[in-house]
Structure 1
Amino acid sequence: MKLKKIKLKNFKMHESKEFEFNDDVNIIVGDNECGKSSLLEAIEICLNFTYRGKPLNSELTTDLFNEKCIKKYLDGDKSQNSLPEIKIEAYLEGDANLKGTNNDDKDDTEGIFIRIFFDDDLTDSYSSFIKKPDDVKTLPIEFYKTEWYSFAWNRLTFHNKKVNCLFVDPSRLHPTYGRSKYINSIINATLEKPERSILNLNFRQLKSRFDNEEKVIEINKGLDVENDITSKNLKITTDIGGKSSWESNLELTVDDVSFNQIGKGEQNQIQIKLALQNKADDVDIIMLEEPENHLSHINLVKLISYIEKKNNDKQLFLTTHSSYVLNKLSINKLCLLSSEYSRLGNIDKETIKTLKRFPGYDTLRVILAEHPILVEGPSDELILKKIYLKKHGCLPEENGIDIIVVRGIGFKSYLNVVKPLKHKIRVVKDNDGNYKKNIHDWSLNYKDCDFITYYSDKSNDSNSLEPAIINSNSDSETNLDKLAKVMLSTQTYNKYNKINGLDKKKEFFTQWYDGEDSGKKKVDSAIRIFDNNEEIKFPDYLTKAVQYE
């Protein structure tokens, strides 16, 4: 079963939104507070009739409603007809029994929907409630009910629902979120039905000696045979303090330490790996909330590799703030939540392959930045920051300007990422001694991309950053000396200072950056400029690159 599309009305941040998805992997990214988690919650509500792992009917609150629809109700006459409703429609593929026209699109297609709306049976009670409408200060959720139907107008229940969705969210380990029930949902997805029966039987036979039962030991041995979930001893054991069915009295332990007491990073990994294992093969959709949380880089690399290998035919949804996760799982699976919903399905294959091989590059920065600027190296980054700092008294990132060093993968990969998104971006690039070839002709590769703006010195003599700065301060020997004292080390400046004449000094100064350790020399000079308050002139193309007025 695949989720093809979901439509949201009045749900949390999403007043009226539609999201289409990939059949395999969906990597949901966006800035903070853009609605990533809300989207996963909407999927859980519609497919499972649960909210944060608990039955929806017991979790109805005004927090589920979009603020605008609540405000409209409170600012209006508060009549019964003005009460807002939530509707979530999931368009599915894989079960003809769900097919019908009971959807907002009126398409004859497979799917299910959920409504949270006013209960007509409470009309008289509501009429009494609003006799003094000015006293009503909140949405009266107590007068609401829910309905859960397929597009074929068949009522759904927990027992006859056709799609199974598992939401792995580490925050649900918190006691107030029903920790045991949440962990059991993951355990149930991991075990086969005969194994669950064996656990139940043995638990009822002898609770106090449950851990030593032969069948339980056998199951625990099979839980992580290859030790690819954790290198430690993972097993299911009894919670002796409990008092009902096996499901509410079992817990996971790792090396005999209760699961909720082990490190957050290991909790995260084990939850995700168990969910993906899914021996019972009864989960269609797996949702993961920020899998990178609490993990070192090496452990994140291992986890993402595991996800790649074990995902099989499950449809995967995950939120992330990690460029590594996005690049490694394939950047063309990106689902971007911003002012508009965008996907990167049409990005070129070479860029996808490059970023899979070099996943450490900050592609998410260029996607999410309000004002991204691409530069050649760290020296360019520091100089642009210095120019902005001098004029505005703060660093550019404080005003949403993100200067990104392209390093090994070059400008092309980054521009190919933003190209399908039509995201405004600036490129600060060296002309390398040939402005026409390396800037003008090169930019023709993106001639239809009016959202890309290029900045480079048009003089071929100013072939890179350092010569461009030197040329901008070569109107007099005094100004060049002042610049040299800032950019050069004391030892090198003493050599420079022994030279007579503007032209010869300029020649020495420029050639200094072409010799041995040129990269280190350039960065050292950029740091000196950044840390120094001496008044020097910067090339016009650099000054214009950070102007957003």
Structure 2
Amino acid sequence: MPLISRLMLQNFKKFTELDLRFTHDRNILVGDNESGKSTILLALDLVLSDSRHRVEALGVEPLLSQSAVRQFQEGERRADQLPVLTADVFLSNGGDPDLNGRQNLAGINADGLRMRIAPMTEEYGQDIHNVLQQDPDNFPYENYSVRFSTFSGGHFASFRRYLRHLLLDSARIDNEHAAQEYTRTVYSVNVPVADRYRLENSYRQQKMHFCTRHLSAINDTLETYQFGVRVMLPTC
């Protein structure tokens, strides 16, 4: 069974770039609050789990680097310049040709798994263009999709485990999970994908408007933290 040897991130949450190497026995992450320890564990868990549903439940907006988004918004705002999130997990060489390739941020021949969250410009190019032509503060998070692959470029599915991992996180326990899953299923069956993206974008714009109109006065008095609205549509 291969071991994790390296993690490279691009535009993942607070990390516009990260290159972290691991030892083959035990690794301990030490740092101040908000230094990125949980972010590193989240990146590893998402890649190794190959869970599209988990990524969709978390949402693209909190996963994509806000620094990269701001840089895009301050530029030409062209669809071909939209930021892309990449998380590469390098594995110790295990002799599996399906894992081996050069499709990684280091550009080297290695074994590994990749998660890439990128805009669907081919499928929803016109919708993305329309969003970018609207309010200059708007961003097409809803038109992003996630793809899991190996460094060879082939897709990998969670039922084929290249390595075993377990993340213990009490924060993920949710008593309303079953009800949310049912609601999400009914919604996805009855609402076309394009309409879902449009509605989710509109909902996010209303959250931004609420923050600007009702929370800005409070946030202006704060230095370390800012209040915001993080509630997502239960049907997203």
Task: Judge same fold: TM > 0.5, yes or no.
Answer: yes
Match of 2:41 in 1: 40
Unaligned stretches of 5+ in structure 2?
179-236
Match of 2:86 in 1: 87
Match of 2:103 in 1: 102
Shift of 1:160: 2.7
Cα deviation 1:389-441 (Å, max 9, x = unaligned)? xxxxxxxxxxxxxxxxxxxxxxxxxxxxxxxxxxxxxxxxxxxxxxxxxxxxx
Cα deviation 1:286-321 (Å, max 9, x = unaligned)? xxxxxxxxxxxxxxxxxxxxxxxxxxxxxxxxxxxx
* Counterpart contact for 1:113–1:151, Cα < 8 Å: yes
Equivalent residue of 2:172, what SS?
helix
1:131 aligns with 2:133: yes
Equivalent residue of 1:129, what SS?
helix
* Counterpart contact for 1:76–1:82, Cα < 8 Å: no
Match of 2:226 in 1: none
Counterpart mapping for 1:301-380 below 5 A: none
Q: Name which structure has the greater RCO, CA cutoff 8 Å, separation 6+.
A: 2
* Counterpart contact for 1:99–1:110, Cα < 8 Å: yes
Counterpart mapping for 1:389-404 below 5 A: none
Match of 1:73 in 2: 72
1:60 aligns with 2:62: no
Alpha-carbon separation, structure 1, partners of 2:65 and 2:89: 19
Match of 1:154 in 2: 154
* Counterpart contact for 1:101–1:107, Cα < 8 Å: yes
Alpha-carbon separation, structure 1, partners of 2:100 and 2:110: 5
Q: How many residues align?
A: 174
Shift of 1:16: 0.3
Shift of 1:139: 2.9
Shift of 1:95: 4.8
Alpha-carbon separation, structure 1, partners of 2:164 and 2:141: 28
Q: Could you tell me which amino acid in structure 2 is paired with residue 21 of structure 1? A: F
Determine what percentage of the aligned residue pairs are the same residue: 22
> Which structure 1 residue ranges, 4+ long, deviate > 4 Å from structure 2?
none
Cα deviation 1:72-106 (Å, max 9, x = unaligned)? 12222221022111000110023523111222222
Match of 2:172 in 1: 172
Shift of 1:10: 0.6
Alpha-carbon separation, structure 1, partners of 2:73 and 2:9: 21
Shift of 1:161: 4.0
Equivalent residue of 1:168, what SS?
coil
Equivalent residue of 1:28, what SS?
coil
Shift of 1:20: 0.3
1:10 aligns with 2:15: no
Alpha-carbon separation, structure 1, partners of 2:175 and 2:95: 36
Change (3 A) 1:67 1:131: closer
Equivalent residue of 1:55, what SS?
helix
Match of 1:142 in 2: 142
Alpha-carbon separation, structure 1, partners of 2:95 and 2:49: 16
* Counterpart contact for 2:131–2:138, Cα < 8 Å: no
Counterpart mapping for 1:409-424 below 5 A: none
User: TM-score when scaled to structure 2?
Assistant: 0.68
Cα deviation 1:11-60 (Å, max 9, x = unaligned)? 11111010001112111110011000000000011111248xx5324433
* Counterpart contact for 1:44–1:50, Cα < 8 Å: no
Q: Could you tell me which amino acid in structure 1 is paired with residue 89 of structure 2? A: A
Counterpart mapping for 1:527-538 below 5 A: none
Looking at secondary structure, tell me which structure has more helix per residue.
1
User: TM-score when scaled to structure 1?
Assistant: 0.30
Alpha-carbon separation, structure 2, partners of 1:95 and 1:56: 29
Alpha-carbon separation, structure 2, partners of 1:56 and 1:161: 18
Q: CA RMSD in A?
A: 2.0
